[in-house]
Amino acid sequence: MSEGSRKIAIARLYTDEAGESHFIDELVEAHDANFAPPAPSMYVSTPQEAKASLFLLLPAGYDSPLHPAPRRQIMTLVSGELAVTTSDGGVRRFLPGETVLVEDTSGKGHGTRSVGGESVVAVVQL
């Protein structure tokens, strides 16, 4: 890795050929760029096209069964704690500031649950 780049860790949720959902950890490369002059340079990734963005609020106690994602989305938690269960039985917890790339748009999907007795707020890019 050069001085002009950094890696950003994200989780990716995907479906395999058998329709099972799984998590994999990935690194997104960000390069040094003069992104917002006159601010100092910062690290930015390659742009990904998004058609829309929204705020998502899951109330305290929210618990959904397995379902595929309605479309590919990038979700970043703002508040609360979210537990996501894949169809292969894996469970990951996401905290504020963490991002997951959700691509399991077919197959058995995943379940989502708010944990810790509080609602979950996320920003979602579609």
The CATH number of the domain holding residue 98 is: 2.60.120.10
SS in 3 state form for the chain? CCCCEEEEEEEEEEECCCCCEEEEEEEEEEEEECCCCCCCCEEEECCCCCCCEEEEEECCCCECCCECCCCCEEEEEEECEEEEEECCCCEEEECCCCEEEECCCCCCCEEEEEECCCCEEEEEEC
Domain that holds residue 77: 5-125
- Predicted model pTM: 0.91
pLDDT confidence of residue 2: 53
pLDDT confidence of residue 3: 74
pLDDT confidence of residue 1: 44
Number of structural domains the chain divides into = 1
pLDDT confidence of residue 82: 98
pLDDT by residue for the chain (126 residues), tens only, comes to 457 899 999 999 999 999 999 999 999 999 999 999 999 999 999 999 999 999 999 999 999 999 999 999 999 999 999 999 999 999 999 999 999 999 999 999 999 999 999 999 999 999
